Amino acid sequence: LRDNRIELVRASWHELSISVSDVSLSDEGQYTCSLFTMPVKTSKAFLTVLGVPEKPQITGFTSPVMEGERMQLTCKTSGSKPAADIRWFKNDKEVKDVKYLKEEDENGKTFTVSSTLDFLADRSDDGAVVSCRVDHESLNSTPQIAMQVLEIHYTPLVKIISSNSWPEEGQSIILTCESKGKPVPEPVLWTKDGGELPDPERMVVNGRVLSISFLNKTDNGTYRCEAKNPIGRNSTEYVLIVHDVFNTLLPTTVIPSLTTATVTTTVALTASTTTSATATSVRDPNALAGQTGPDHALIGGIVAVVVFVTLCSIILLGRYLARHKGTYLTNEAKGAEDAPDADTAIINAEGSQVNAEEKKEYFI
């Protein structure tokens, strides 16, 4: 071997060592070591040189790309031996559906490998990082990577957000038109029922925000927000319904029926609506803030007093009737309790014929 890249490292009667620097593909082949004895003894070894792949490059991307267009990105690397492996990733997630092509270089020893990623551009791909990774045994587990950031242009996406889910007369409402697109949409256009806003003094537009003050029934209708950019335009609608203001009614009291007593309670209502005495008052969830509810403790106390008075009246009436009946029966038979027989009882009784002249009767 006669080459400046080959040096003798060690030479003795037992060992001969050489080193090869700046290894190239031409160094691949069979090497022979000979011991000049009688007869000559030899030993052979085959040296394999790996071809390191070049840094990959991504081609086929033109910025910007319109939404819906087909994109074909190609990743290519040359000089690998054996052929390198190429893998695609989008935001660190591997893409499997790709095309792979391997070609032999002119030197007949190395390979050029390419892979194509084919997909339709979508607005969700805007800003995504597409990477091409080359794996080869000569890279010592450190792959070579090429990256490309996608830029996708798309029409605006429009949405209206309301500040009041239950607008009532006299209140205010703010409608915000959120528009997202690339390029950034121009200032939005607000319309009502297909025409201009009818009351500019109460309906104020500030950028993407529409503010309506002192709502009334004439504000009912369909409000449209439209946004556009060089790619196209889009719009969305919001139907506004202004509701009446509800008054809070005073609560009525339900009194249970006890025995045969009947109690009638008359409640004066401040509102124009008439409600029966047995109806239960329900607070309107949409009532204006600041209105206070009824005093339930006071109502409960009144009901307790009415029930207590009714019960006491029934008890007193029952005792009176029972006592009157006993007294009448006792006067009828007074003086006959201890009589031995019926005749004696008749003679001794205050109501007998013997004392007929002294008999007195009272009727109550």
Rounded to an integer, what distance in angstroms lies between the CA atom of residue 115 and that of residue 53?
14
Which residue type occupies 142?
Answer: T
Which residue type occupies 116?
Answer: T
Rounded to an integer, what distance in angstroms lies between the CA atom of residue 272 and that of residue 247?
10
Residue 295 confidence (pLDDT) above 90: no
Contact between residue 100 and residue 117 where contact means Cβ atoms under 8 Å apart: no
Q: What angle do CA 321, 323, 328 make, to 5 degrees?
A: 100
Residue 140 confidence (pLDDT) above 70: yes
> What average pLDDT does this structure show over 158-162?
96
Mean pLDDT over all residues of the chain?
81
Rounded to an integer, what distance in angstroms lies between the CA atom of residue 20 and that of residue 5?
6
The fraction of the chain above a pLDDT of 90, given in percent, is 56
Q: Which residues pair with 203 in a beta bridge?
A: 212
- Report pLDDT for 278: 33
pLDDT bracket for residue 289 (50, 70, 90): very low
> What average pLDDT does this structure show over 111-118?
96
- Report pLDDT for 163: 95
| Residue listed under structure tokens 């919001």 | 238
Per mean pLDDT, which range of 151-160, 285-294, 330-339 is the poorest?
285-294
38: Cβ contacts below 8 Å, ≥ 6 apart: none
Q: Which domains does the chain have, with CATH numbers?
A: 6-47 (no CATH), 57-150 (2.60.40.10), 155-240 (2.60.40.10)
Residue 271 confidence (pLDDT) above 60: no
Contact between residue 130 and residue 90 where contact means Cβ atoms under 8 Å apart: yes
pLDDT bracket for residue 275 (50, 70, 90): very low
Residue 86 confidence (pLDDT) above 90: yes
- Report pLDDT for 279: 32
pLDDT digits (tens, 9 = 90+) for 300-340: 889 889 989 999 989 888 888 877 654 444 444 555 555 56
346: Cβ contacts below 8 Å, ≥ 6 apart: 336, 352
Q: Dihedral through CA 218, CA 222, CA 228, CA 231, nearest 10? A: -170
pLDDT bracket for residue 14 (50, 70, 90): confident
Long-range contacts at 283-286 (CB < 8 A, ≥ 24 apart):
283/248, 284/246, 284/248, 286/166, 286/168, 286/243, 286/246
Rounded to an integer, what distance in angstroms lies between the CA atom of residue 88 and that of residue 145?
10
pLDDT bracket for residue 352 (50, 70, 90): very low
Per mean pLDDT, which range of 53-57, 101-105, 137-141, 174-178 is the poorest?
137-141
DSSP string, 179-204: EEEESPPPPPEEEETTB--S-TTTEE
- Report pLDDT for 361: 59
Contact between residue 174 and residue 163 where contact means Cβ atoms under 8 Å apart: yes
Residue 252 confidence (pLDDT) above 80: no
- Report pLDDT for 321: 80
pLDDT bracket for residue 347 (50, 70, 90): low
- Report pLDDT for 266: 37
Residue 38 confidence (pLDDT) above 60: yes
193 compared with 247, residue with greater pLDDT: 193
233 compared with 361, residue with greater pLDDT: 233
The fraction of the chain above a pLDDT of 70, given in percent, is 75
Residue 150 confidence (pLDDT) above 60: yes
For residue 269, give the nearest of 290, 282, 251 by alpha carbon.
251
> What average pLDDT does this structure show over 126-152?
93
- Report pLDDT for 250: 44
pTM higher than the cut 0.75: no
The CA–CA distances, whole Å, from 85 to 100, 107, 263, 290 equal 9, 20, 95, 73
Q: Which residues pair with 232 in a beta bridge?
A: 229
What are the start-end ranges of the E strands in 36-128? 41-47, 57-59, 65-66, 70-80, 85-90, 93-95, 99-104, 111-120
Rounded to an integer, what distance in angstroms lies between the CA atom of residue 89 and that of residue 357?
132
> What average pLDDT does this structure show over 215-239?
95
> What average pLDDT does this structure show over 143-148?
94
DSSP string, 234-270: EEEEEEE-PBPPPPPPPPP------TT---------S
In the β-sheet with 221-229, what is the strand arrangement from edge to edge? 189-192, 221-229, 232-240
- Report pLDDT for 187: 87
126, two tokens = 């805007």
Residue 88 confidence (pLDDT) above 80: yes
